[in-house]
Amino acid sequence: MSAARAASSFDKLLLKKIHRSIGQAPIRLVFSGENSSAADGAGMQTIVIHDRRTLARMALDPEIGFGDAYMRGQIEVKGDLVHALEAVLPAMHRLKKRSWYYRLISKWLQRVQGNTLNGSASNIHHHYDLNTEFYKLWLDPRLVYTCAYFPTASATLEEAQLAKMDLVCRKLRLQPGENIVEAGCGWGALALHMAKNYGVTVKAFNISSEQIQYARAQARKEGLDGRVEFIKDDYRNISGRFDAFVSVGMLEHVGREHYSEFGKVIRGAIGDSGRGLIHFIGRNRPQDFSAWMRKRIFPGAYIPALREALELFEPYEYTVLDVENLRLHYAKTLEEWLTRYERSADRVAEMYGAEFVRAWRLYLAGSITSFRTGQLQLFQIVFAGSACRQIPWTRAYLYSGEARMEKESEWIRAAS
């Protein structure tokens, strides 16, 4: 028996401290020294800490400590990871104050991951320039990497991503011949869907080279390269006038301190006569985004409260027409992603190694938890300028069932 691994009263103290700092969450914390020591939560799930260094790091800050230890395989979660996180995250969320260490790291990340033009390029590169082959392993065939919309609980992920893109188009009331600008277009699925099914022309911006290359190839393949232009540039460099503005899953990467710039860009693009839609992960109240997630997964990200997002529109007196919260749909989307991801875990390990596999597993599982328990929300906001003539009388047209469902099945058949 090595002295370093025996559970001392000091170890027990640390376990208790950790348990306090995760809000006394209903989970069992175990230090696996030979005389193993547990800090009890009554819960079914167990987190096993194997070494004293990890124990110390988790005592310093449970979130960053746990995240990095999980990534490195220095910690073991017995039972389902999502269930374990469901026990811990809401309890931690209720805590008023984070550790001094967390606050220090959080501030430091904020400083080094700022979303200047160069900063954004590097932040986006970190996540979205991973090989497209990697994302193909677990996204839908069109590579839509944002919350899907499941019209019914039995819809497949592919159907739900199509339904989401179409919901966005219908909310925008796209008319044939209109010019649309998209900020942050991923692999181009929405831009192509709009051009193909609604007869509009689209300029779509993105600063991920990998994604833009894929999107351009896709446009050529579908014969849409005359009507969809994919531009590798920052949203701040959007120029020209458009009938509508759309941005799905980009606001999270804009950064709190750049909202007024983003608002200005929208105004420049659609003036007083246009309308637009932003789709983004949001919160119930302002709060920093998880430091571990910023450190390992999404550098520079900030998740705004709905109220903060509205600051984009106020200076230009844009009218908010509709806000819909789809958080349960994001939980389900992420469940689908995690299932596919696990199926391909060996392939991911070959590509990026075991640490990467675990880090991304934790990101996906943690996101499921956050959407399920309401720490994260998914908002779609439809807005319009004061001179916009595209204001619907009611929202009933969004739900004129059968006709729409048929159209979607048609697209799915056509595409497969």
The residues near 245 (Cβ < 8 Å, ≥ 6 apart) are: 180, 181, 182, 183, 266, 269, 270, 274, 275, 276, 277
Distance separating alpha carbons of residues 48 and 38, to the nearest angstrom: 9
Q: Tell me if 124 sits within 8 A of 255, measured CB to CB.
A: no
Whose Cβ is closer to its own copies: residue 359's or residue 382's?
382
Query: What percent helix, strand, coil does the chain show, rounded to 5?
Result: 50, 15, 35
Under the criterion CB under 8 A, does residue 319 sit at the interface with its own copies? Answer: yes
User: Least distance (Å) from its own copies to the CB of residue 373?
Assistant: 8
Please state the φ and ψ torsions of residue 218, each to the nearest 5 degrees.
-65, -40
Query: Would you count residue 276 as binding its own copies (CB under 8 A)?
Result: no
Closer CB to its own copies, 343 or 395, in the complex:
395
* Residue 92 in the binding site for its own copies (CB under 8 A): no
φ, ψ dihedrals at 372, nearest 5°: -60, -45
From the CB of residue 66, how many other CB atoms can be counted at a distance below 10 Å? 24
Stretch that binds its own copies, among 150-158, 168-176, 208-216, 233-241 (CB under 8 A): 150-158
Q: Tokens 């070494």: give the residue.
A: 51
Binding residue count for its own copies, defined by CB under 8 A: 39
Judged by CB under 8 A, the stretch of 6-14, 27-35, 112-120, 144-152 that binds its own copies is 144-152
Name the segment binding its own copies (CB under 8 A); options: 34-42, 129-137, 203-211, 281-289.
281-289
* Separation of first and last alpha carbons in the chain: 61
Q: Which is nearer to its own copies, 396 or 414 (CB)?
A: 396
Residue 60 sits at the vertex; the CA angle it makes with 54 and 62, to the nearest 5 degrees, is: 75
314 contacts its own copies (rule: CB under 8 A) = yes
Restricting to residues 346-385, name those near its own copies by CB under 8 A: 373-374, 377, 379
Least distance to its own copies, CB of residue 408, Å: 14
When binding is defined by CB under 8 A, the residue of 73, 141, 177, 315 that contacts its own copies is 315
Q: Which stretch binds its own copies (CB under 8 A): 44-52, 185-193, 202-210, 284-292?
A: 284-292
CA–CA separation, 377 and 309 (whole Å): 13
Locate 89 and state its tokens.
């995250």
| Contact residue for its own copies among 307, 343, 353, 415 (CB under 8 A) | 307
412 CA to centre of own chain? 25
Nearer to its own copies, 239 or 319 (CB): 319
* The token pair that represents 324 in the structure block: 């819909």
Among 44, 231, 328, 351, binds its own copies (CB under 8 A): 328
Give the tokens for residue 9. 């009263």
* Binding region for its own copies (CB under 8 A): 149-151, 153, 284-286, 305-307, 310-311, 313-315, 317-325, 327-328, 373-374, 377, 379, 386, 391, 393-396, 398-399, 401
